[in-house]
Amino acid sequence: MKTEKLIAVIGKIAAKIEQQKDFLTELDNVIGDGDHGINLARGFGEVVKKLDTLREKEPADVFKSVGMTLVSTVGGASGPLYGTGFMKLGAALKGKEDITLPDFLEAFAAAIEGIKLRGKSDRGEKTMLDAMIPAKEAMEASWQEKGDTKAAFAAGIAAAQEGVEYTKTIAATKGRASYLGKRSIGHQDPGATSFTMMLEIVGGEI
Ligand code: ADP
Ligand code: MG
């Protein structure tokens, strides 16, 4: 994927987040403070404003801009976490004009490590990581088996969706939802949900 396509995909992610803003906020209302959709939609609204200035840049610069914009405009935990993730994608992809699936998987792994460090979190804590980590692993396994980009995204999306379902079964131990303890069981995690939406958009554009 080159810069032009990447910019189009990020625009579609922003549109999806805007469209799902109320749903994401509703999910956060139940186990958090009801701002996840509003937070992300505000951030991606700012991201979109900058996309046109990035057309001559390499993909890494686009990811870096997205990350910096999210960190500076999204309130709450998810801004710094998603921001870190996008900035790590940028750092890992530096110098690549056309991102391949193996490139992306390496960068995705770096993004997850960055989010874990920043959030002091890991899988099994009812966060975005419960969609991200299974998605990454499923994409790696699919790529090894089939070497097909579309198939890898399909596998990653299915794993992320399963990850969202899994978040319903566990209690949160990180983020605001952890204040609810066991009462958070039964409800899906907003961040795992928003990540899955993003991956679905990317997969649909591949
Ligand atoms: P806040 O919780 O500050 O209101 P948001 O509502 O925007 O921020 O985002 C909440 C989401 O952030 C959660 O659903 C969860 O997926 C994610 N999250 C919160 N804390 C962490 C953490 N320490 N590590 C990973 N993800 C986290
Ligand atoms: Mg919130």
Q: Provide the percentage of residues in the chain whose pLDDT is more than 70.
A: 100
- Residue 41 and residue 47: Cα distance in Å, rounded? 10
- Residue 77 and residue 105: Cα distance in Å, rounded? 24
What's the pLDDT at 1? 98
Pocket test for ligand 1, best of 78, 117, 123 (most atoms within 8 A of CB): 78
Question: Is any atom of ligand 1 closer than 6 Å to the C-beta of 107?
Answer: no
The protein residue with its alpha carbon nearest to ligand 1, atom 22, reads 119
- Residue 28 and residue 24: Cα distance in Å, rounded? 6
Look at phi and psi of residue 151 and say left if phi exceeds 0, alpha if psi is from -120 to 50, else beta. alpha
Domains in the chain, please, with CATH? 3-204 (1.25.40.340)
CA 29 to mean position of chain CA atoms: 20
Is the per-residue pLDDT at 74 higher than 90?
A: yes
What's the pLDDT at 93? 98
pLDDT in tens, 42-54: 999 999 999 999 9
Is the per-residue pLDDT at 75 higher than 90?
A: no
The protein residue with its alpha carbon nearest to ligand 1, atom 26, reads 127
CB count within 10 Å of CB 146 equals 12
pLDDT in tens, 111-129: 999 999 999 999 999 999 9
pLDDT in tens, 3-44: 999 999 999 999 999 999 999 999 999 999 999 999 999 999
pTM flag (> 0.75): yes
Is the per-residue pLDDT at 191 higher than 90?
A: yes
What's the pLDDT at 57? 98
pLDDT in tens, 158-180: 999 999 999 999 999 999 999 99
Matching residue, tokens 């998605």: 135
Average pLDDT, the chain: 98
